[in-house]
Amino acid sequence: GPFCGCLLADMGADVIKVESPDGDLMRAWPPLVDGYSQYFASVNRNKRSVVLDLKDAAGLAAARRLALSADVVIENFRPGVMAKFGLDHATLARDKPALVYCSVSAFGQTGPRAKEGGFDMTLQAMSGVMSVTGESDGRPVKCGIPIADFTAGLYAAFSVVSALHKTRRDGTGDHLDVSMLGAMLGIANLQTSEYFGTGRDPVRLGSAHPMNAPYAAFRCRDGYFALAAGTDKLWQAACEGIARPDLMQDARFASPTLRARHQHELGELLEQAFANYDVAGLLDIFNARGVPCAPINSYSQVLADPQVRHMQWIEDITLPNGVHTQTIVSPQRVSGERLGVYRAPPALGQHTVEVLTEIGIKST
C-alpha cells in the first residue's frame, strides 16, 4: 500500500497518508536516523500526512469526508476491517459511484484464505518463489529484496491509473482487488509455463536459468561474475573471447536447449577456463564482444556506478527532524525529465490542519 501511493505521488498525484495518532508502524522500522525511519522515508516521500482517530466519531467523519473528496482510496488492511468503519468500497461507492477504490491484501478480498494475514516472506513461501530460489542442495531462502510487497504495490499503482482512465471516460468507479499471492503468480510466467508445459515442478537452480545457458554466476580467479550468453551468436562470441572454440564444436552445447540441458557440465568447463582470468578481465573481454555480463555488486558498489549517477536516481533529502540523508527516487523519466522529491517525507500529522481545511473542516 505505501509503495503504491509512493509511485502515484512520484508521478504528481496528491497522496494523503491517513495515520492513527500512534502513526504508521513503519515509522519505527530501522534504520532510524535521529529517531526518523529511513525506510519509512523511502516509500512516503511526496505525500502529506494526516492524523485521524477512527475510533473517535469526529475523526471517523473526517476520514469519510476525506475519502469522498478523493479520486482514489488505497487501503491494505485485512478484508473486512474497512467495513467496520464504514469506509469500505460498497459504503463509499453509494455516495460516490466514480470512486476508484484499491484494496491490497495478502490473498485477495474473497476466498478461503481471504482473512489470513501475510508478510513478504510468507508470501514468497506460499507462492512458490522460495521453491526456486537458492542453490539446488540448499535450504529454502527468500529473494533478498521484498518482491511480494513491492510487486503488489506496482500492480496496485498500474491498476489505479488504468481504472482512473476508465472512470474519466464513463464516470464509473471500480473496486480493485490486488493480492500479494496473485502478484507473485503474475510475474512467475517462466515457472508456471514450465509446469503447465511439462507437468514438472520447477526447481532451485541457484543463479542458473532452466531454459538458457550459459546464464548464471560463474567463479573466476578472483571472485564471481554474471554471464548471459543464451543465444547461439552470444555463445560463439563468448567462446571466441576466451579462446575456446572447441566448446562450440561440442555436441552437448550445440543449441540453447542442449546447453541448458547440460549446463552442469558446461559450467564446470567454463569455470576451468575462467580460472585463468580476473573478474575485470572477463568483463572487458565479454563487453568488447557485446556479450551481456556484469559484476556481482554490493549496494554500495551499484550506487556508485556511473550509470546511476548519470540517471540521477540518488537524491539528497532532509527529514522532518532536520537530518540530511539520501534516497532513491522513482527511476523512470517522463519526456526526459527525472521524477524527484518535491515534498519531503512527512512528520506524523504534519498536514492534518492543512488537509482538513481544504475539505471544509475547521481545526479546533
Q: What is the DSSP string of 6-25?
A: HHHHHTT--EEEEE-TT--G
What is the pairing mode between strands 337-339 and 47-51? unpaired
Could you tell me if 225 and 292 are in contact, meaning their C-beta atoms sit under 8 angstroms apart? no
pLDDT at residue 211 in the model = 85
CA dihedral 283, 285, 290, 291 (to 10 degrees): -60
Residue type, 85: F
What pLDDT shows up at residue 90?
97
Burial track 91-128 (b if 16+ CB lie within 10 A, e otherwise): ebbeebeebbbbbbbbbbbeeeebeeebebebbbbbbb
- For residue 142, the SS3 value is coil
Counting as low any pLDDT under 50, the low residues of the chain are none
- Per-residue model confidence as pLDDT tens digits over 157-176: 999 999 999 999 999 999 99
pLDDT at res. 363 = 72
Cell numbers at residue 345, please?
517525507
pTM reported for the whole predicted model: 0.92
With contact defined as beta carbons under 8 Å apart, do 34 and 359 qualify?
no
Q: What is the pLDDT of residue 364?
A: 62
Give the pLDDT confidence score for residue 208 in this predicted structure.
87
Q: Give the catalytic positions in this structure.
A: 149
* Pairwise CA distance, residues 328 & 316, whole Å: 9
Selection from 342, 345, 363 nearest residue 354 by Cα: 363
Q: How many helices (H) and strands (E) does the chain have?
A: 17, 14
Confidence at residue 144, expressed as pLDDT on a 0 to 100 scale = 94
Residue 79: count other Cβ atoms within 10 Å of its Cβ.
19
Question: How far does CA 305 lie from the centroid of its chain?
Answer: 21
265 phi and psi, to 5 degrees?
A: -65, -40
pLDDT recorded at residue 291:
97
CA distance 92 to 280: 59
